């Protein structure tokens, strides 16, 4: 898609947020470091001897919420073609998809980012033209052009080799996880669960911060 058919391999693996019930137990010799993750119905709980590691997640058809015990929840929910992240700290983010464009809006115009899918790649429009990036497939590789032309890069490769967004993360200005999600969203739309990973260690990874 945007760069290669293998881009999705950069998505981290999450425990299922929907579907069958399950339990995962992680034992540690150090007191308070172990965790037990239990899914029952729409509720996922992480329990530990350390209260800071305990949380509860509620998963619904239109989104999910989670919070450490005793704290206000973070919400991720979908409305039409938008997915919003609402935090008790006020650090909110709204993702919108309109055709071949995905817009990421945060409080303050200078923090907004626009991603456009093109015939051969991806354009990234940030505040100030020097921060703009064009990633494009060319006949013998990948071209990465910046608003600041001194940062331009051309990667030429023999047929059969694939561009590695991990190696060129500094040049693309995008985490490979974010690139993989964009690839997925342009094909099938944005889902709230795309922005949240629950690891087998009972930790939550939030992806919205990668889109800057």
Range of the domain at 170: 7-202
In a domain, residue 207? The reply is no
pLDDT averages per 10-residue partition of the chain, 212 residues: 53 87 87 84 92 91 91 92 90 92 88 92 89 91 91 90 89 91 91 93 91 91
Residue 108 lies in a domain: yes
Q: Which residue in 28, 83, 89 sits closest to 53, CA to CA?
A: 28
CA–CA gap between residue 112 and residue 110 (Å, rounded): 6
Asked whether residue 212 is assigned to any structural domain, the reply reads: no
**208 lies in some domain:** no
Report the alpha-carbon distance of residue 35 to residue 27 in Å, rounded: 7
Number of domains comprising the chain: 1
Q: Which residue, among 75, 73, 78, 74, has the nearest Cα to 61 in the 3D structure?
A: 78
Question: Is 30 within a domain?
Answer: yes
Q: Could you tell me if residue 183 is inside a domain?
A: yes
Examine residue 136 and state whether it is found in any structural domain, yes or no: yes
Specify the pTM: 0.85
In a domain, 187, yes or no: yes
The conformational region for residue 162 under phi > 0 = left, psi -120 to 50 = alpha, else beta, is beta
Helix (H) or strand (E) holding 171: helix 169-172
DSSP designation for 164: -
Residues in a beta bridge with 23 = 38
Q: What is the pLDDT of residue 32?
A: 62
Q: What is the pLDDT of residue 10?
A: 61
**CA 31 from chain center: how many Å?**
32
């Amino acid at each position: 898609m945007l760069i290669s058919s293998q881009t999705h391999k950069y998505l981290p693996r999450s425990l299922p947020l929907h579907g069958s019930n399950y339990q995962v137990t992680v034992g540690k010799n150090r007191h308070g470091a172990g965790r037990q993750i239990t899914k029952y119905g729409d509720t996922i709980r992480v329990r530990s001897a350390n209260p800071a590691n305990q949380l509860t997640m509620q998963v619904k058809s239109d989104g999910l919420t989670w919070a450490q015990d005793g704290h206000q929840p973070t919400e991720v929910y979908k409305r039409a073609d938008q997915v919003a992240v609402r935090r008790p700290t006020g650090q909110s983010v709204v993702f919108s998809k309109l055709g071949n464009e995905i817009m990421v809006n945060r409080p303050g115009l200078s923090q907004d980012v626009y991603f456009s899918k093109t015939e051969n790649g991806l354009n990234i429009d940030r505040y100030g033209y020097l921060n703009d990036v064009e990633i494009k497939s060319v006949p013998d590789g990948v071209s990465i052009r910046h608003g600041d032309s001194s940062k331009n890069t051309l990667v030429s490769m023999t047929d059969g080799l694939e561009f590695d967004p991990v190696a060129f993360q500094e040049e693309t200005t995008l985490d490979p996880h974010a690139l993989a999600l964009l690839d997925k969203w342009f094909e099938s739309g944005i889902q709230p669960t795309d922005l949240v990973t629950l690891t087998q260690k009972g930790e939550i990874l939030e992806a919205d911060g990668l889109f800057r």
